[in-house]
Structure 1
């Protein structure tokens, strides 16, 4: 459903070809008419006066043509650009669609963009609503199972075998609750916005406090990253926790600005990721640490958050990072060439 102000009222709109062709023809006619008029008016009022008069008329006519082009082309395009930017930044309220649609082609394009934005918002709302509904419906019986398990645990009638089964039931209930919390976090990550800029200097001090067991090396601290400091810390936290869980002791983070994008590499000296698991690590609920409490949602949350900011994350070979992202004079250590390496690209 289109918002107010967008073309539900029928009105005549010129075609783009008519506007452009009219502008070109008008420019040529002004030049031709000016030459003809100067020839006949010159002897009557003097060539200097005739030239001044014709220059004023041509200037006014050119200004009128420019005004038409601005109104029919430039203003609608700028309005559509602002609408797209506001829609990308705002998810909790409706955005007023542009009022100026210009030519027929721009009007149709504007309607298509607005319909697409509305459809995407509706899909996000559906995902959020479904997530909340499923979480609520599952959380209620899980809470009942936990309450009943606690009552049984407080009793003295259970033998050792029964208590072992009861512990498994309670563990399964806790795992379901953890998965539900991760599912809600994934839905929120699709909406969370961390607009702004930061650089790796925002991690200094903080990362040593949060991850004291890791030796962290930062390169490219002067590169402006299109993510606010909080978003950058979320990114590093997820990957640092994964690195530590897989036995890493060193973490090397590098940022670099190329011609058309900004890249960040995060590499560790842990056990790495096997080729068999590499294709699945971004899949929801995939984890190799289920028995240690892993939910398999961390990288999915990270991917959704980065996608909301026009970025992509991928698992790459550490050897490729030494030449594509890092300063050649500050290559990865030999240990980090054997661990996991993630590359984030902001386009």
Structure 2
């Protein structure tokens, strides 16, 4: 492959500035001496045409060397690596930046593909033995004369089978959470009707209703639904959601009046499969999925100790 010569960014910008200055000074000199010879009007027209032509050339060079490579790289990044890799990078600096961005995008894509492939493989391979356990339990319950103790044993086996199926479904959701993109923005005011309808047992107090949240409506709804579900499960009757924007950061504080989270469990609540409600069907994946969705959108979620109830803070960096 032929190595192309690429000018440096300093050379391009310096050359454009030097050319503009030289053209201005040269035009004054030419106008001063050419005007008396051919007439000032004709000299002005000639000089204007020359300036326009040279400016067009400089503009074309800037578009080719700076604007077009940047737009091509932006298109590639917005398409999350599925678009054609840009072929023209303009200056040395944009070329180096583009190479790093493309390498990072490919590494992220490979990692996500590996995680997805592993998740699909595990869930697919586990499906057959889990189905066999379910069929065996149903067959024994329907055909065999079992004692009470044996019925209890089968019930425990079936409960374990159901828990495995639930964990596998949660694992698939966790992997998919990093792939789904919720682009755009929304506000608490737009989300209020759906949140109220989905959680009728809660009194919702929404502050900063018109603050723009830098994530699509569906994504914010998934995160808030999980936090509100957790609040209900811990006995909360009231939740305050406060949106603020300051110093290049958008935050969403969610405070409930439930029983809260114990100090011993607080450090583990975002760990996949950690739950204190396993006997009631809890999978321990809700907060992990919410954290994954936020991480895919330059956001984060943390638990903040509170004297009453539980408090979570969702934050996005907006600059």
* TM-score normalised by L of structure 1: 0.82
Cα RMSD after superposing both structures: 2.4
| Structure 2 partner of 1:223 | 211
8 Å contact kept, 2:271–2:288: yes
1:298 matched to 2:286? The reply is yes
| Structure 2 partner of 1:61 | 54
1:15 matched to 2:16? The reply is no
CA displacement at 1:186 relative to structure 2: 0.5
Aligned residues between the structures: 317
> What's the CA shift string for 1:22-70, capped at 9, x where partnerless?
2233234334434554555355445665455334423432332232122
CA distance in 2, matches of 1:138, 1:99: 44
Give runs of aligned pairs for residues 79-90 of structure 1, distance below 5 A.
Answer: 79-87=72-80
CA distance in 2, matches of 1:221, 1:78: 35
Partner SS, residue 312 of structure 1: strand
> What's the CA shift string for 1:74-98, capped at 9, x where partnerless?
22112222322232xxx8xx21233
Q: Structure 2 vs 1, CA of residues 67 and 217 (structure 1 numbering), >3 Å: closer, same or farther?
A: same
CA displacement at 1:297 relative to structure 2: 0.6
1:112 matched to 2:82? The reply is no
8 Å contact kept, 2:75–2:83: no
Structure 1, gaps ≥5 residues long: 1-7, 319-336
CA displacement at 1:264 relative to structure 2: 1.4
Give runs of aligned pairs for residues 78-157 of structure 1, distance below 5 A.
Answer: 78-87=71-80, 94-157=82-145
8 Å contact kept, 2:185–2:212: yes
Q: Bigger shift: 270-279 or 149-158?
A: 149-158
| Structure 2 partner of 1:275 | 263
| Structure 1 partner of 2:250 | 262
CA distance in 1, matches of 2:238, 2:25: 76
1:338 matched to 2:308? The reply is yes
CA displacement at 1:247 relative to structure 2: 1.5
CA distance in 1, matches of 2:8, 2:220: 47
| Structure 1 partner of 2:34 | 41
CA distance in 2, matches of 1:204, 1:18: 54
Q: Structure 2 vs 1, CA of residues 179 and 52 (structure 1 numbering), >3 Å: closer, same or farther?
A: same
CA distance in 2, matches of 1:231, 1:24: 46
Q: Bigger shift: 48-57 or 270-279?
A: 48-57
Give runs of aligned pairs for residues 174-193 of structure 1, distance below 5 A.
Answer: 174-193=162-181
CA distance in 1, matches of 2:272, 2:214: 26
Partner SS, residue 262 of structure 1: strand
Q: Structure 2 vs 1, CA of residues 152 and 28 (structure 1 numbering), >3 Å: closer, same or farther?
A: same
* TM-score normalised by L of structure 2: 0.89
CA displacement at 1:159 relative to structure 2: 2.4
CA displacement at 1:232 relative to structure 2: 2.8
Q: Structure 2 vs 1, CA of residues 122 and 215 (structure 1 numbering), >3 Å: closer, same or farther?
A: same
Q: Bigger shift: 242-251 or 29-38?
A: 29-38
Q: Structure 2 vs 1, CA of residues 18 and 165 (structure 1 numbering), >3 Å: closer, same or farther?
A: same
CA distance in 1, matches of 2:280, 2:91: 61
Q: Structure 2 vs 1, CA of residues 44 and 198 (structure 1 numbering), >3 Å: closer, same or farther?
A: closer
CA displacement at 1:251 relative to structure 2: 1.3
